[in-house]
Structure 1
Amino acid sequence: MSDIVVTLGAPVPVYEQIRSQVAAAVAVGTLRPGARLPASRDLARDLGIAVGTVQRAYRELEASGVVISRRRTGTVVAPAGTGTTPAGGRTSVPPPAGVVAQARALVTDARAAGLTDDAVLDVVRGALATPRDRTAEVGREVS
């Protein structure tokens, strides 16, 4: 799990950078169920950040069902199907790699345009609020 990279001083808090990278790695299958995450102290030392920052990221990941933390055995990726969606529903299927790539492209484009993370989330929430039968129409060009 040495693939985690944080940018100190970025508008996104460091704990959220860690949380989102771990969640994305689980979602695309880079981290499989049962995979052990580095100990909080080790990851904090490697990244040059406070242990509490890593612990907060791990707590949030555990609260959303992405990982399971045990005192003696450490933090591991939860079994498939134990995570929750933002709406509170259960999910067992990771998003397709293309969807993850599009989400990353959206974030990159939005940040380049000067949008805040909250503004990007508002855009996504608005798209999710679109009725499913209209979602297919939104991407179509009208001739």
Structure 2
Amino acid sequence: MPDAALQVDPRDPTPPYEQVRRQLEDLIRAGILRAGDRLPPLRQLAGDLGLAVGTVGRAYAELETQGLVVSRRGAGTRVADAVTPGPDAVLRQLTRDFLARAQAIGVGPRTALDAVRTAVEGETFARPDRD
């Protein structure tokens, strides 16, 4: 695993766990990390990046929710065989990305939610909602 490629910028308003998650996702999607490749243990990566173990743990958990990695006790965390997250995982990730970008420009979650509501009310979607 090219851990030297991972960096956390303390000046970036994006939370550190999200910076780590995004970089690992990019490495997986680019094929630099391949199915079965093992990610560094939480403590090792946390130490390398100067982060709390829980911060790296959250990044790994988010990647697992996305279907990009699989964690097993005793076997560590490895890149998943099939990197095709379902629509719910994709929607959760898009939401997290949107909120992180909104925060980066100084917009809070309530204002971001209002913007989404306004956009939904003004749009006609090709397919009906499942709601």
The bucket for the TM-score relative to the shorter chain is 0.5 to 0.7
Q: Which runs of 5+ in 2 are unaligned?
A: 93-99, 105-111, 127-131
User: Is 1:118 aligned with 2:102?
Assistant: yes
In structure 2, the partner of 1:15 is: 17
Q: Give the Å deviation of 1:83.
A: 2.7
Alignment of 1:37-56 (within 5 A): 37-56=39-58
Runs of 4+ in 1 over 4 A off after TM superposition: none
Alpha-carbon spacing, 1:7–1:77, altered in 2? closer, same or farther (3 Å) = same
Residue 30 (structure 1) shift: 0.8
* Identity of matched residues, %: 43
TM-score, structure 2 normalization? 0.65
Q: What pairs up with 1:47-86 in 2 under 5 angstroms?
A: 47-84=49-86, 86=90
Output the amino acid matched with 1:53.
Answer: T
1:117 shift after superposition: 1.0
Question: Is there any run of 5+ residues in structure 1 with no aligned partner, and where?
Answer: 89-115, 133-143
Structure with the bigger RCO (C-alpha within 8 Å, sep 6+) is 2
Q: How many pairs does the alignment contain?
A: 100
Q: CA deviation at 1:118?
A: 2.3
CA RMSD of aligned residues (A): 2.7
Deviation at 1:10, TM superposition (A): 1.7
1:82 Cα shift?
4.2
Deviation at 1:81, TM superposition (A): 4.1
